[in-house]
């Protein structure tokens, strides 16, 4: 969806396909941003409709009931049990055969695991799955190139899964501001040699001032550069994970409302 301060025709040419009603911009995503328009991607999810129906049905059964999805606990063991049993048919993000296999390899024991699996099961990050599974299962020890990385990477067992990991490391070790770290993240994602050379120098200088040797700072930057190509946005993954978790919690055997035996909240 494009958002402009006035008529779109003042900013870009438009097009309507034959026998269709949708109005399209003839500019691609990069050109749209170059002329200053705001671009939003909206995803329609049937799961959100199902959750809304559930809330309405609960209130229909009990008009006095208060249902607040935002107040649901994120540590429900019954919901985690459904993930561990791989009973995730019709669960957003977790119904494919590949994701089911991943659930078997990395059983969910906490909400953070759900976020990590959502981020990992993508074409690029899939290369990180063996390390994540081995460390989560205890077959391998979680490794941290610097002790200051442990608080940042502990929840993913030392694996850089999220773009936010790269940004936080740049801030903590390389002396970046968070704004500067976001520029680093974008540069790594675009893999532009000239930008990467500039950021490598900035990071190594900052990390050296923060106690690393130049060689170790360079090694850490190499690791960040490698993982940044696969990194997924954690905020995005968490939003997806929350929708999936609420859908699973809806079917947890201990979560029921008064009414027909088959009705579950």
Tens digits of per-residue pLDDT, 97-141? 999 999 999 999 999 999 999 999 988 889 899 999 999 999 999
pLDDT at 176: 95
**Same-domain pairing of 209 and 95:** yes
- In-domain check, residue 29: yes
**Same-domain pairing of 95 and 35:** no
**Same-domain pairing of 29 and 81:** no
**Same-domain pairing of 10 and 133:** no
pLDDT at 253: 57
**Between 115 and 185, whose confidence is greater?**
115
115-119, 191-195, 223-227: the lowest-pLDDT one: 191-195
**Between 66 and 256, whose confidence is greater?**
66
Tell me 232's DSSP state.
B
- In-domain check, residue 70: no
Average pLDDT over residues 39-54: 89
Write the DSSP string, 158-218. T---BHHHHHHHHHHTT---HHHHHHHHHHHHHT-HHHHHHHHHHHHHHHHHTT--HHHHH
pLDDT > 70? residue 187: yes
- In-domain check, residue 251: no
When divided into structural domains, the chain yields a total of: 2
Band of residue 149 on the pLDDT scale cut at 50, 70, 90: very high
How confident is the prediction for the chain on average, in pLDDT?
A: 89
pLDDT at 186: 84
Band of residue 225 on the pLDDT scale cut at 50, 70, 90: confident
pLDDT at 260: 40
pLDDT at 255: 54
**Same-domain pairing of 126 and 228:** yes
Domain that holds residue 189: 77-236
User: What whole-number percentage of the chain has pLDDT above 70?
Assistant: 94
User: What whole-number percentage of the chain has pLDDT above 90?
Assistant: 62
**Same-domain pairing of 143 and 16:** no
């Amino acid at each position: 969806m494009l958002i402009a301060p006035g008529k779109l025709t003042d900013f870009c040419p438009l097009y309507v396909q034959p026998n269709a009603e949708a109005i399209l911009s003839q500019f691609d995503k990069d050109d749209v941003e170059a002329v200053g328009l705001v671009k939003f991607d909206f995803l329609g999810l049937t799961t959100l409709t199902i959750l809304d129906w559930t809330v309405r049905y609960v209130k229909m059964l009990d008009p006095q009931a208060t249902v607040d999805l935002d107040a649901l606990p994120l540590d429900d063991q019954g919901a985690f049990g459904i993930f561990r049993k791989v009973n995730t048919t019709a669960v957003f993000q977790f119904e494919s055969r590949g994701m089911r296999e991943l659930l078997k390899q990395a059983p969910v024991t906490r909400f953070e695991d759900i976020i990590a699996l959502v981020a990992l099961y993508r074409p690029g990050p899939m290369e990180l799955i063996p390390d994540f599974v081995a460390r989560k299962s205890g077959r391998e020890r979680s490794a941290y190139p610097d002790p200051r990385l442990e608080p940042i990477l502990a929840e993913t067992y030392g694996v850089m899964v999220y773009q936010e990991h790269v940004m936080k490391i740049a801030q903590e070790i390389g002396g970046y501001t968070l704004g500067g770290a976001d520029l680093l993240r974008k540069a790594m994602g675009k893999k532009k040699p000239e930008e990467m050379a500039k950021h490598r120098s900035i990071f190594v200088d900052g990390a050296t001032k923060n106690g690393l040797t130049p060689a170790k700072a360079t090694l850490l930057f190499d690791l960040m550069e490698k993982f940044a190509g696969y990194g997924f946005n954690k905020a995005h993954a968490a939003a997806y994970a929350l929708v999936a978790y609420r859908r699973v919690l809806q079917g947890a055997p201990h979560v029921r409302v008064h009414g027909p035996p088959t009705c579950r909240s």
